[in-house]
């Protein structure tokens, strides 16, 4: 999967299903996607936050893009988090976690996002998969399904798991020829308390989950998914 910024619960369910999780960092960056933005809950509505980048272009690969040098966005983001969640049960420890991620020394987008995912999984106490970058594994020029199959070969994979969106991208028979079983998870996004929120909003950034749930409760939610064959 492409590395995402504080992704939603289903992304972490996919990580939980894997023994090794490969971040597709040598694929083209997509503007207005989820690589460098997500949603939190602010004043009862989804609020879109964005990681500012330097000269981001869809002609560049994710690992060729760097974070904006002006660090003012970090203070602004932490202030926004305070407004949104300072009354939440787990604000203090989760704010510290987020701060440790956004104040990372990493300036390369792929490395920054990898660091963030590793810190979040460690905080939750997930069964930690080995997280690697696809640029360490694949041949230059491979795209789409061929890139995925190459990653499976390099890792001697017996199974490849993806989110439901991958059903339109991959052909089970091509994986079978490589002796790889193609699987998809069915995420479950259970409702949880969102203070003073009348209608539960699902699919927000993992930040919203962590602000309102203990690590143990978050672990249970992350484990709540099904795996189906293609």
Each residue's pLDDT tens digit, 163-205: 998 888 999 999 999 999 999 999 999 999 998 888 999 999 9
Whether 16 and 225 have beta carbons less than 8 Å apart is answered as yes
Percent of the chain's residues with pLDDT above 90: 83
Pick from 35, 44, 1, 17: nearest CA to 183: 17
pLDDT of residue 128 exceeding 70, the answer is no
Predicted confidence (pLDDT) at residue 118 exceeds the cutoff of 90: yes
Q: Is the pTM of this model over 0.85?
A: yes
Residue 134: pLDDT band (50, 70, 90) is confident
Q: How far apart are CA 197 and CA 199, in angstroms?
A: 6
Query: 71-116: per-residue pLDDT in tens?
Result: 899 999 999 999 999 999 999 999 999 999 999 999 999 999 999 9
3-state secondary structure of 66: strand
Does the pLDDT of residue 58 top 70, yes or no?
Answer: yes
Whole-number Å distance between alpha carbons of 177 and 161: 16
Which of these ranges, 33-37, 113-117, 127-131, 198-202, has the smallest mean pLDDT? 127-131
pLDDT grade, residue 153 (50/70/90)? very high
Q: How far apart are CA 194 and CA 162, in angstroms?
A: 29
């Amino acid at each position: 999967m492409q590395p995402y910024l504080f992704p939603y619960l289903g992304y972490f369910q996919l990580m939980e299903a894997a023994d090794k999780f490969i971040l597709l960092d040598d694929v083209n960056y997509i503007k207005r996607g989820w690589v460098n933005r997500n949603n939190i809950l602010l004043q009862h509505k989804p609020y879109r936050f964005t990681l500012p980048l330097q000269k981001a272009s869809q002609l560049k690969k994710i690992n060729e893009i760097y974070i904006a040098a002006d660090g003012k966005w970090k203070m602004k983001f932490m202030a926004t988090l305070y407004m949104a969640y300072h009354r939440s049960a787990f604000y203090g420890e989760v704010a510290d976690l987020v701060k440790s991620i956004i104040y990372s020394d990493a300036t390369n987008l792929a490395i920054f996002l990898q660091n963030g995912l590793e810190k979040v999984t460690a905080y939750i106490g997930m069964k930690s998969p080995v997280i690697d970058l696809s640029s360490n594994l694949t041949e230059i020029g491979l795209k789409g399904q061929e890139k995925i199959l190459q990653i499976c070969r390099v890792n001697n994979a017996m199974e490849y798991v993806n989110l439901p969106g991958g059903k339109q991208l991959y052909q089970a028979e091509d994986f079978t020829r490589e002796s790889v079983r193609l699987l998809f998870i069915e995420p479950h996004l259970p409702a949880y308390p969102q203070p003073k929120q009348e209608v539960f909003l699902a699919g927000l950034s993992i930040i919203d989950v962590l602000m309102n749930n203990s690590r143990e409760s978050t672990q249970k939610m992350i484990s709540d998914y099904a795996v189906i064959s293609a």
